[in-house]
Structure 1
Amino acid sequence: MPSPSRSTRSRTKNPGSQSALRHLNQQRIIECLLNGPSTQAELARQTGLSTATVSNIVKIMQDSGLASTEPTTSSGRRALNVRLNSNGAVAVGIDFGRRHLRVVLASLSYHVIAEESVLLPLGHHAEQGIQAAVALLDKLLADSGAERTAVVGAGVGIPGPIDRRTSTVAQGAILPEWVGIDIQERLEEAFQFPIFIDNDSNLGALSEVTWGPHSGISNLLFMKIGSGIGAGLILNGNPYYGNVGITGEIGHATIHEHGLICRCGNRGCLETIASTTTMIELLSRGEERPLTPEDIVRKALARDAATLRVVDDAGLAVGRALGNVANLINPEVIVVGGPLAGLGDILLDPIRRGLVRHAVPVIGETTTLTMSSLNDRAEALGAAALVFQHAGIRRT
């Protein structure tokens, strides 16, 4: 039997109450059934649980619609075959933002069961965000009639680099209050089921090849333009994480060598020119209150001259950075996402001009540039897809 994963080890430190132990045992059975139907005897051998425990848990799963059983024969003896019902098991996708939280529930047949987003205070600490996520998940489960025990696992998106060696948020995150925390361990303590964490831009890329119109694309770059700017990469059909997991930090590409100081400590980074934070600072001068990304979209669509100029300057800078990346990896598709997706061609046109100007001509001509059709759902849907990926469940 393979050694337990880090996720499993952290969940078995403090089994807690009888119900928590039963939930842990059910998760072990579900993980076995994700590989296909098994008899109760086979499940007992694979999990190390007693046949009585397996029988009791299978009965609970059957009553809740999570599993179904049918008579069969094994080694010439009558047995009970257990099958996981894809519409009963649930994957959770959680997207933490600087100011927002979104939670998605999805069945293993890739059907969105429920989703909701709430606002979070600017500068919220990890514990505050985690407790809000627990409360929102409990609400969605209750509203949809799904049992907490039906949750296979949760994918979690964080707006910042994740050091995959330690499962900690690294310096440079949009949520500096989360830096240095073993976020996977803390989330597993709070939720009591397997947690898979990733950078939100990586999850945006995963969502595009899973839920979006780009399934089958082997080389895709997803660029999120928000309070920060990051990119997620799908290379040769798989997410690309590099050496320690910190990839796609395109927001810290130098555009103006003598430009403004960036939060990373360098000068003239793309984020100092094209992030929504920078746009808001520029456009809020003379306003009664600071603008929001939604205000930028509204004013640009209304053809406000100052807004159009700020968006155009930002788009050209983004296109320049993308041109350099495209020259390096030659993606088939570049998808732009984030809260400005509603701008459509108002943002895409200057990005395209910058891309064509700074990319090798044949790359600029053959790279498809498009806006995400998933809007602000992309990262949460990608987080749910991360659960499917770890479970080996592919969309058919």
Structure 2
Amino acid sequence: MEDWQANQTARGPAPALYGLAKTSGTIPADPAPPHLRQLAEVLIESGALQRPALARRIGVSKQTVSELLSVLEQRGLVRVAGPLNGLPGRSSLSYALRPEAALALGFDIGGTKIAAALIDLRGTVLAETIEPTAHGDLDQLVGQLAGLATALTERAGAQRLHVQACTVGVPAAVNPATGILNLAANLPGLVAVDLHARLTAALGCPVAIENDVNLALLGEVAAGCGKGKSDIAFVALGTGVGAGLMVNGRLLRGATGGAGEIAYLPLPDHGTTERSLIQGHFETVVGEAGIREAFVRRGGAADLPVRAIFDAAAAGDARALETIDELAGHVALGIVSLIALIDPELVVLGGSVGARPELIERVRHQLATRFERPVPILASNTGARAGLAGALETARRHLLADLFGEE
């Protein structure tokens, strides 16, 4: 999407941000020369090329290509790959990107675990890990992410000074103007704190903080079933509930970053309780806790996890089947609300519950009875890795913009 870069969440005040970005000395102090981004994109996609071929690909003279390559060589971002066909002369030299010269980090913070990975300029994953989320205060979380960054770079045989961009996904609404978090029921220690400033200082590179479901949506647009789409709703159903919304190719955030917080949608057949006010009406019914409660209400075992309830439904258990049918009806109501508001061309269901094929089949049926226009409902192609995939791609795009200029 052409507006993806322009609509990423605020990465802090620009002067402080770009001051920290120059830790490795490779990010230019001056604006990128014209065509530098085009040249870099060609090298990223094509590997080693000669100057004449590069000139033809981006539509400029060989002299301009030479000047651009000189800029990249000075910054340590390209290397001479050697002459082709053994021919002498400058034009026979081929040039290749050094993808390891600048790296990016991605984190997907959940209520129970953190997924993290390190990538190079091409988006190749150099190291990846998952570990339990440290529950405590802000210091513990920041320390955990800094430790993960060190462990990933060491595992990849890289240097921390080459890490020049980071995107962090959080289960919360992120104010697009201030970066302050709110509506973080699963990580209450993050509410109203300046996580951006702390992480930027701890990681020593520019940091973008984004809602985790927004990142899942961006990951789906980049490499999943949302590729090429510009009006999409990504609905994540699992322990918690949320939605990422894209309208006309632009990520929808709202005044305080709360667009898509469908956990708080009221349901007409659901009474208000203290828990539903705090956690949200919709989430108390379609989140994992609500699914288990609905199963127990029908006489099911109280200690059965949601995964086992779906397995029981597949085996023909009447109580489990009724629970899943009821769940599908509630989910369909939530999706109808989104369709009525943003008119998406596609709704993607993800998360540990949302991507279950037996649920999606029932949601499609329920939706057909509740809304007159058919809207495709698909399972996320990126699965449980959607949030991390979105974080990595967003970090890489920020990195490319910092190094080579905007698209």
**2:5 corresponding residue in structure 1:** none
* Residues 1:89 and 2:98 are matched in the alignment: no
* Residues 1:306 and 2:314 are matched in the alignment: no
User: Aligned with 2:225: secondary structure?
Assistant: coil
**Whole-Å separation in 1 of the counterparts to 2:31 and 2:155:** 26
Change in Cα spacing, 1:310 to 1:127, as seen in structure 2 (3 Å) is: farther
**2:142 corresponding residue in structure 1:** 130
Indicate which of 98, 116, 122 corresponds to 1:109.
Answer: 122
**1:321 corresponding residue in structure 2:** 334
**Whole-Å separation in 2 of the counterparts to 1:104 and 1:186:** 20
Change in Cα spacing, 1:138 to 1:294, as seen in structure 2 (3 Å) is: farther
**1:68 corresponding residue in structure 2:** 79
Per-residue deviation at 1:26? 3.7
Per-residue deviation at 1:31? 8.8
Indicate which of 192, 195, 207 corresponds to 2:204.
Answer: 192
**Percent of counterpart pairs with the same letter?**
27
**Whole-Å separation in 1 of the counterparts to 2:137 and 2:303:** 23
* Residues 1:376 and 2:371 are matched in the alignment: no
**Whole-Å separation in 2 of the counterparts to 1:387 and 1:8:** 16
Change in Cα spacing, 1:142 to 1:389, as seen in structure 2 (3 Å) is: same
Deviations 1:149-202 (A, max 9, x none): 222311111101112222111135321221011111111121111101111111
Supply the AA of the counterpart residue of 1:230.
G
Q: For the Cα contact (< 8 Å) 2:11–2:17, is it kept in 1?
A: no
For this pair of structures, how many residues does the alignment match?
350
Per-residue deviation at 1:376? 1.1
**Whole-Å separation in 2 of the counterparts to 1:130 and 1:238:** 30
Q: For the Cα contact (< 8 Å) 1:262–1:272, is it kept in 2?
A: no
**2:23 corresponding residue in structure 1:** 23
Deviations 1:245-293 (A, max 9, x none): 2200112111136514265627971111101122244557999984545
**1:51 corresponding residue in structure 2:** none
Q: For the Cα contact (< 8 Å) 2:292–2:302, is it kept in 1?
A: no
Q: Which runs of 5+ in 1 are unaligned?
A: 16-20, 39-54, 71-81
**1:348 corresponding residue in structure 2:** 360
Change in Cα spacing, 1:5 to 1:95, as seen in structure 2 (3 Å) is: closer
**1:204 corresponding residue in structure 2:** 216
Per-residue deviation at 1:84? 5.6
Q: For the Cα contact (< 8 Å) 2:12–2:178, is it kept in 1?
A: no
Deviations 1:39-61 (A, max 9, x none): xxxxxxxxxxxxxxxx9x978x7
Moved more, 22-31 or 123-132: 22-31
User: Aligned with 2:290: secondary structure?
Assistant: helix
Q: For the Cα contact (< 8 Å) 1:258–1:267, is it kept in 2?
A: no
* Residues 1:6 and 2:12 are matched in the alignment: yes
Q: For the Cα contact (< 8 Å) 1:233–1:239, is it kept in 2?
A: yes
Deviations 1:213-235 (A, max 9, x none): 32111111101112221110111
Change in Cα spacing, 1:231 to 1:262, as seen in structure 2 (3 Å) is: farther
Q: For the Cα contact (< 8 Å) 1:316–1:354, is it kept in 2?
A: yes
Per-residue deviation at 1:148? 1.8
Q: Aligned Cα RMSD in Å?
A: 3.8
**1:334 corresponding residue in structure 2:** 347
Indicate which of 262, 276, 282 corresponds to 1:270.
Answer: 282
**2:90 corresponding residue in structure 1:** none
Supply the AA of the counterpart residue of 1:377.
R
Q: TM-score, normalised by structure 1?
A: 0.75
Supply the AA of the counterpart residue of 1:133.
L
Q: For the Cα contact (< 8 Å) 1:36–1:83, is it kept in 2?
A: no
**Whole-Å separation in 2 of the counterparts to 1:135 and 1:97:** 17
Deviations 1:61-81 (A, max 9, x none): 74xxx54379xxxxxxxxxxx
User: Aligned with 1:265: secondary structure?
Assistant: helix
Change in Cα spacing, 1:37 to 1:228, as seen in structure 2 (3 Å) is: same
Q: For the Cα contact (< 8 Å) 1:153–1:194, is it kept in 2?
A: yes
Indicate which of 166, 173, 183 corresponds to 1:154.
Answer: 166
**Whole-Å separation in 2 of the counterparts to 1:67 and 1:196:** 26
Higher relative contact order (CA 8 A, sep 6+): 2
Q: For the Cα contact (< 8 Å) 2:310–2:324, is it kept in 1?
A: no
Q: Which runs of 5+ in 2 are unaligned?
A: 1-9, 41-69, 82-94
Q: For the Cα contact (< 8 Å) 1:341–1:375, is it kept in 2?
A: no
Indicate which of 234, 246, 249 corresponds to 1:234.
Answer: 246
**Whole-Å separation in 1 of the counterparts to 2:30 and 2:110:** 30
User: Aligned with 2:352: secondary structure?
Assistant: coil
